Structure 1
Amino acid sequence: MDDFSFSAFETVLRRHARAVETVLDRLLSPALCDGEIARPPRLLAAMRHGVLNGGKRLRPLLVMESAALFDVRQETALPVAASLECVHCYSLVHDDLPAMDDDDLRRGQPTVHKAFDEATAILAGDALLTFAFDVLSGEDSGLSASAQVQLVRLLARAAGLGGMAGGQMLDLAAEHTPQGESEIITLQAMKTGALLRFACEAGAVAANATAEDRARLAEFGTAIGLAFQLADDVLDVTETSDILGKTAGKDIASGKATLVAFHGVDWARRQLDGLIEQANDVLAPFGQKAETLRQSAYFIARRQS
């Protein structure tokens, strides 16, 4: 993509980020939701620390841009995007725990268990995960009942046993058991790819789009999910902690197998080129309306942090 501009795309990314952060800030305010007895201040503060601490908000952008392909209103897409971001941030809070990846730094700030304590971080992650489905199933979402049910089920599957949580389990096992290339691809498709695939498919579901369009966006999500993890693995061995906003070199230090460890950085970059091309081909039927999604694929594969 010769005409791609990181600064121009990041401007679009920030615009989407501000929109979803406004929603998240409101949803995670001290004000009670219907039926709630209380919102414990320390738990709420930990949840806000884990969610409102920066971040690219790439997944919300994918939700909103995939929805825009079908002219879904932003007001309808935003709760879906916010729900997904709650699930993503819960995963980061738990991923950073000493029993998992044991990280002290996230997005350039202390991780939740460092800023608070381990027990509070566990509960903050639990609360963010369950809160996501509260938001997604809201009565005033603007979604059809059928779309809501499908989105709840898709997000549960993307986050759960056969998705992100299952992938994290496989990733932990990979620290102690030698992994082949096919095993690495499977765990990465679950741990990282599942939520990205949901983000892309969600817009079509929200619009009650055709099965063909849903499948096309799911394929796009699969391609960028592979690209995201592959780019992450390249960055882990080529960039510093200051650049990444998290600890660099952890995979090498833990002896964890990655595709980059198997094949090298040059191979990985060639694979990323192919995934960008695949993503562009999948989006071709949507024409100019998919331009931001096309740019997102390039950004994912070529990002520096």
Structure 2
Amino acid sequence: MADLQTLLAECAATVDKTMDLLLPKPDDAEALLFEAMRYSCTAGGKRLRPFLVMQSAALFRVDKRCAARVASAVEFMHTYSLIHDDLPAMDNADTRRGRPSCHKQFDEATAILAGDALQALAFEVLAAPETHADPAVRIELVRELSQAAGGHGMCGGQMIDLLAERDGEMNIGAITRLQRLKTGEMFAFSSVAGAILGKGSYRSYMALHNFAQEFGLAFQIADDLLDVEGDPEKTGKPVGQDAAAGKATFVSILGAERARAQAHLLIDQAVHALEVFDEAADPLREAARYVVDRTN
């Protein structure tokens, strides 16, 4: 098996190529909109969510072209969320992945529309026959991604996050729920997408779902630690933003060392959830270990 960094790079190259094919290049009145969409989608990043899609699909021997389309849809949805998160009404971030945020490079209205269009494109890709021959599979992909991104998923978590900034402190249970919605549900969809595409058993679906639940929380704890301890040159964004905004995080409540220990415990549980798979799931196990030790 290739090392994790090689696998991540190969996945990023495959997904970037697929996104390039899926994003139109018009020269008419909408050209600025698609320029903004492309600008945000080509800003780099770890492509962890697409990686989870591609690796979970590989467990069920799903055609790589189909898996790459779903992985691209996930990245379109994720990028939409980043564009909107950076807006002045939300996190008010001037940079993203080491360069100006979409609304800084273009303007706020264009950024909002670019995010909206990327969200719509994600569902368009999932619903297309090229993604899977079985309409029932395509419907299930659309249903699960809409749940992961909607009011009981990413958007709901973001709402709780905004309310927490306004209304005051949160306890560890509330923060855990917030992050399971805001971050975890998209990781969960990315992980179970392979089982949906490959029509896997309920047992295999739940194993991937349980893996992602622990993976997502560990990822967020690592993110919180990077906001306190990270190097802006490596993270591509300013550090200390959570503290400046008065946000309650895993680190602010538990302290850095306890939060780090909790992240490692969660990763141990995530790896354990993959016991139903053989060594074919090793890339997922390696990705889980990577998220808690990353520097960006």
Smaller-chain TM-score range? over 0.9
Could you list the runs of 5+ residues in structure 1 that have no partner in the other structure? 33-37
Is 1:287 the equivalent of 2:282? Answer: no
Corresponding residue number in structure 1 for 2:179? 188
Give the equivalent residue in structure 2 for 1:61. 51
Moved more, 197-206 or 241-250: 241-250
- Tell me the residue number matched to 2:136: 146
State yes or no: 1:26 paired with 2:3: no
1:12 maps to which residue?
Answer: 7
Instruction: Find the counterpart in structure 2 of residue 173 from structure 1.
Output: 163
Q: 1:185 and 1:288 mapped to 2: Cα distance?
A: 30
1:35 corresponds to: none
Structure 2, unpaired ranges of 5+: none
Aligned partner of 1:157 among 147, 156, 170 = 147
2 CA distance for matches of 1:147 and 1:170? 31
Indicate the SS of the match to 2:278: helix
| Aligned positions of 1:70-109 closer than 5 A | 70-109=60-99
- Displacement of 1:145 in angstroms is 1.4
Identity in percent: 45
For the Cα contact (< 8 Å) 1:60–1:199, is it kept in 2?
yes
Q: Residue 139 of structure 2 aligns to which amino acid in structure 1?
A: V
Equivalent residue, structure 1, for 2:124: 134
Contact 1:76 1:143 in 2 (8 A): no
Question: What is the CA–CA distance in structure 2 between the aligned matches of 1:16 and 1:281, rounded to whole Å?
Answer: 24
Could you say if the C-alpha distance between residues 231 and 39 of structure 1 is closer, same or farther in structure 2, counting changes exceeding 3 Å?
farther
Aligned residues, how many?
294
Is structure 2 residue 196 aligned with structure 1 residue 205?
yes
Give the letter for the 2:281 counterpart.
A
Contact 1:94–1:121 at 8 Å: present in 2 too?
yes
Aligned partners of 1:152 and 1:261: how far apart in 2? 36
* Aligned residue identity for 1:184: I
Pair 1:220-2:215 in alignment: no
- After superposition, the C-alpha distances for 1:45-87 in whole angstroms (9 at most, x for unaligned) are 0000111111111110100100111111101111110101000
Q: Which runs of 4+ in 1 moved over 6 A?
A: none
Q: Does the CA-based 8 Å contact 1:30-1:39 persist in structure 2?
A: no
**Matched-pair contact (CA < 8 Å) for 2:207–2:276:** no
Cα distance in 2 for residues equivalent to 1:62 and 1:144: 22
CA contact (8 A) 1:80 1:136 kept: yes
Alpha-carbon distance in 2 for matches of 1:123, 1:212? 40
Asked if the contact 2:53/2:190 (under 8 Å) is kept, the reply is yes
What is the deviation of 1:29?
2.8
Deviation, structure 1 residue 137? 0.6
Find the aligned partners of 1:194 and 1:141 in 2 and give their Cα distance: 21
Deviation, structure 1 residue 243: 2.0
Are the equivalent residues in 1 in contact too, given 2:69–2:126 (CA < 8 A)?
A: yes
TM-score (ref. length: structure 2) = 0.96
Post-superposition Cα deviations, 1:233-275, rounded to whole Å, max 9, x if no partner, equal 0111001322210121111011110111111111011112211
- Render the CA deviation track for 1:109-137: whole Å, top value 9, x for unaligned: 11000000000000000000011000111
Return the alpha-carbon distance in structure 2 between the equivalents of residues 31 and 250 of structure 1: 37
Are the equivalent residues in 2 in contact too, given 1:143–1:206 (CA < 8 A)?
no
Q: Which amino acid aligns with 1:108?
A: G
Counterpart-to-counterpart distance in 1, 2:232 and 2:271: 31
For the residue of structure 2 that corresponds to 1:205, the secondary structure is helix
